[in-house]
């Protein structure tokens, strides 16, 4: 039981790390001329990068907390998705 909780904690933390990396790399890309395709997030970035980060982190935190309480087995997929998105962002930085 304890091993399972530690595994879920690891996925939980990796999901947050992926979200944080995605947010930072999104702001970096937008500052270099990329376009945010999510219209809500694009609006927030145009208004204030701080508001973008605040909304992104809070919404993600609530969603991942809810998931960790009700469907923790899905945390690994969320972590994998956000880490993949971060790798995708990094590929553009390393190529250019």
Question: Residue 36 in contact with residue 42, Cβ under 8 Å?
Answer: yes
Domain that holds residue 57: 2-95
Tens digits of residue pLDDT in 21-41: 999 999 999 999 999 999 999
Tens digits of residue pLDDT in 39-79: 999 999 999 999 999 999 999 999 999 999 999 999 999 99
- What is the C-alpha end-to-end distance of the chain, expressed in Å? 46
The number of distinct structural domains making up the chain is 1
Contact partners, residue 28, CB within 8 Å, separation at least 6? 89, 93
Per-residue pLDDT at 1 exceeds 80: no
Residue 25 CA to residue 43 CA, distance in Å, equals 17
Question: Residue 41 in contact with residue 52, Cβ under 8 Å?
Answer: yes
User: What's the pTM value of the predicted model, to 2 decimals?
Assistant: 0.89
């Amino acid at each position: 039981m304890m091993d399972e909780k530690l595994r879920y904690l690891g996925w939980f933390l990796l999901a947050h790390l992926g979200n944080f990396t995605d947010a930072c790399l999104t702001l970096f890309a937008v500052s270099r001329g990329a376009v945010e395709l999510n219209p809500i997030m694009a609006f927030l970035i145009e208004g204030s990068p701080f508001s973008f980060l605040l909304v992104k982190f809070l919404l993600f935190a609530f969603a991942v907390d809810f998931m960790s309480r009700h469907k923790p087995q899905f945390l690994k997929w969320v972590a994998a998705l956000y880490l993949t998105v971060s790798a995708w962002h990094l590929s553009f930085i390393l190529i250019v």
